[in-house]
Structure 1
Amino acid sequence: MIYVEPSTLNILMAFLTAFTIAFLAVPPVIRVSSIRRIFDEPDERKQHKNSIPSLGGVAMFAAIFFSIIFWAQDINFEQLRWMILPLFIIFMQGLKDDIVAIHAVKKLIGQLIATAIMVFWGGLYIDDLQGILGIGPIPAYVSIPFTLFTVAVIINSFNLIDGVDGLAGTIGVVTTVTFGTLFFLGQHYSLALISFTITGALLGFLWYNFSPAKIFMGDGGSLVIGMVLGILCIRFLDAEIRLEDGGPALPTPPIALAILIVPLTDTLRVFMIRMSQGKSPFSPDRNHLHHVLLRLGFNHRQVALTLGGINLAFIMLALLLRNVDITVATLVIIGTSVTACVVLQRLSSRKKLDVPAPAMPKPVNVEQTA
């Protein structure tokens, strides 16, 4: 008979419960969205051509909420309250935006309020950079605004990456599986359970979201996943994780950066492009990484799998650099990311130049037609 540790069994059951709830809940959500005509409508900026239900976040939030409540027995009520309350605020804000559009500034204010609850009442904040650029512990007056900024960036980066079928879900699976595995190896079982719960909910949803998508996660899904990733990232930065007993602790900042590298790079890149053009960083455009790959001839499924694979490659790079100086490792990851963006942009620009111009009509000889 195989013996399974209770913590391991709880993690497995939380994953399966989240997957099952999401998988079974999506079809009814699609029907309700269709009846109520709550769609993500196509326009010149979006990639889809048909009206697609956009309430996938409802199924995902239900899967996450009930799985964590039922299986997270090692998390006390006080800890759970200051995680669930911000998630509920973010979910309701995202759900409202899926039904009636909310201005970007109002969404940002809601995100900061939810994060502030987590920081001030939940005690969740970044207070140590572990030697990056020689910076160690940081005081509260720096730590608190830095945490608010970091979580807001993570939330919005995951929201903005949700641009083609299956992409946000694929990136979400890569990030949560990585966080979950590392938390498990570090014996942080409650955090591993939360991570794999998100993985289960995403996989149940992805069944219906891979190209051609039958439903989108909407802001009600992407903002919630972004918030959870922000929570996991901060907990990861504070965790002591060793790959083997007696071995050195992992340098968590560069690894956390690598885990979130695709959404973070994409967001910072498009924000810089927009501001360089004198536009608001929140103004929509077609400059995201998935747009670049689409211009290179990739289809939606290929875009999702390619960016997911790139994200995984950066995680492997960070783990290979675990014994390198923490500042050097961080700079290598950032430099590699910038280089990859430049290469993709050059390839995209060359692709545009290679497109033949439309043939001009032949001039008509008036004398011959007379």
Structure 2
Amino acid sequence: MLKEILSNLTVVSILAVVNSFLLVYFIIPKISWIIQSRQLLDHPDERSSHSNSVPTMAGVAFFITLIMTLFFIQHFDSDQVSLNIIAGITLLFIIGLKDDLVLATPRAKTIMATCAILFMLFSSAMQVHSFHGFLGAHELPLMFTYMAVILMMLTIINAFNLIDGIDGLASIVAIIIFSIYALIFFAYHLHFYFLLCLSVIGILLAYLNYNFSSSKKIFMGDTGSLIIGFCIGICTLKFLAIPDELFNPFSFQTENKLIVIAAILWIPLFDMFRVIMVRLYHKKSPFYPDRNHMHHILIDAGLSHFETTMVLGFSNYLFVIVIIWLSSFWNSFKMMAVLAALFVAGVLLFYILKKKISIKNKTNNTLQTNT
């Protein structure tokens, strides 16, 4: 009886969302109580968009819930990747927890993330053998594709980690990303990955209830952002690994797969590359902390955390729709030109906005001094 229930996609889909939501909803208060009683709060600094100390490490609830979910959806795991995922998220949970408690170096996080990615590459179902004609590239040397996949997933994990700076932003962006991937995997009958996406959406919906709260606020911390970023990387890798002959449900050209991925991950990727470019321009390390992220600029412009989150989330959805539509007509060379133009336009937009904020602040300071 139980086996029949757990093999029904509709039932398991509902369970994946509800079970994940309830587990996180009830576990987070326990985590918050422990953190507060042990004084492990996240204290704000000059870069922070918060003024009060807040509990962190909601990612512990994410980790527990994902492990439980993988047990319930194992019937659909035809690729046999559940153990690979558990091994990967366990490594990231360890380094994320260390970073939330006593800080971890970027080098240590990169090494652990690379090891987690390698666990995924041990599965033949997650291996990419072609770039599907992207910029004329088809079959590539195996070692080159491994290195490209590792670099791609490290970029995704770090990009997601960097946007976790204000209430709700990382969660809303992740919900958008997983909802799009859920639609794609459902269309391809890749039900295990579809259920994994639903589970993460349930996790993040429960977390938002606390992240937006004024009295029960908690952050996901690196423990959570690394795990969620890794799950985004898994979905991205599986989408890239889908063979060309199965590429029927959607109208965009197969050579534009990487373009579509860039669109789905536009907000975290754009923000990361723009911030790195700004830091290098000012002759600072790419890892130098500052307030140049998009969410910082929008907050400084007067938007609330919720408004900033909604603006960036809506922008991501709109970007995906436009890029997928264009990808059905244009080849990868033209689409790369479109992405480059949009990137430059975005950089100029935030440069102008940042400059206006700086001028406004100087004017206000001058007036206060004269007064």
TM-score under structure 1 length normalisation: 0.90
Aligned-partner SS, 1:274: helix
Matched AA of 1:317: V
**Partners of 1:208 and 1:215 within 8 A in 2:** yes
**Partners of 1:157 and 1:263 within 8 A in 2:** yes
Matched AA of 1:286: R
Q: Deviations over 1:21-73 (max 9, x none)?
A: 11111111111111111211111111111111111101111122211211231
> Are residues 1:331 and 2:337 paired?
yes
Of Structure 1 and Structure 2, the greater helix share is in 2
**Partners of 1:266 and 1:289 within 8 A in 2:** yes
Selected match of 1:255 from 260, 267, 272: 260
Aligned to 1:340: 346
Paired with 2:79 and 2:184, the residues of 1 have a C-alpha distance of 24
Q: Deviations over 1:276-311 (max 9, x none)?
A: 222221121111111111122111111111111111
Aligned to 1:60: 62
Q: Deviations over 1:102-134 (max 9, x none)?
A: 111111111112112222456634332222211
Aligned-partner SS, 1:279: coil
Instruction: Specify every segment of 5 or more residues in structure 2 that has no aligned partner in the other structure, as ranges.
Output: 1-6
> Are residues 1:94 and 2:96 paired?
yes
Aligned to 1:226: 229
Matched AA of 2:238: R
Matched AA of 2:346: A
Mark the CA change 1:280 to 1:361 in structure 2 (over 3 Å): closer, same or farther: closer
**Partners of 2:62 and 2:224 within 8 A in 1:** yes
Selected match of 1:276 from 262, 281, 286: 281
- Worse-superposed segment, 187-196 or 276-285: 276-285
Aligned-partner SS, 1:15: helix
Aligned-partner SS, 2:50: coil
Aligned-partner SS, 1:136: strand
Aligned-partner SS, 1:73: helix
Alignment of 1:17-36 (within 5 A): 17-36=19-38
Selected match of 2:85 from 79, 83, 86: 83
Paired with 1:46 and 1:241, the residues of 2 have a C-alpha distance of 44
Pairwise CA distance, 1:101: 0.5
**Partners of 1:40 and 1:53 within 8 A in 2:** yes
In percent, how many aligned pairs have the same letter? 30
Selected match of 1:322 from 316, 319, 327: 327
Give the superposed CA RMSD: 2.1
Paired with 2:45 and 2:167, the residues of 1 have a C-alpha distance of 16
Q: What number of residue pairs does the alignment pair up? A: 357
**Partners of 1:242 and 1:248 within 8 A in 2:** no
Pairwise CA distance, 1:319: 2.1
Instruction: Specify every segment of 5 or more residues in structure 1 that has no aligned partner in the other structure, as ranges.
Output: 363-370
Mark the CA change 1:318 to 1:8 in structure 2 (over 3 Å): closer, same or farther: farther
Selected match of 2:220 from 217, 221, 224: 217
Aligned to 1:351: 357
**Partners of 1:183 and 1:241 within 8 A in 2:** no
**Partners of 2:252 and 2:324 within 8 A in 1:** no
Aligned-partner SS, 1:321: helix
Paired with 2:94 and 2:301, the residues of 1 have a C-alpha distance of 37
Aligned-partner SS, 2:167: coil
Paired with 2:252 and 2:316, the residues of 1 have a C-alpha distance of 24
Aligned to 1:6: 8
Mark the CA change 1:188 to 1:331 in structure 2 (over 3 Å): closer, same or farther: farther
**Partners of 2:59 and 2:221 within 8 A in 1:** yes
Pairwise CA distance, 1:188: 1.2
TM-score under structure 2 length normalisation: 0.90
Aligned to 2:3: none
Aligned to 1:367: none
Paired with 2:153 and 2:159, the residues of 1 have a C-alpha distance of 10
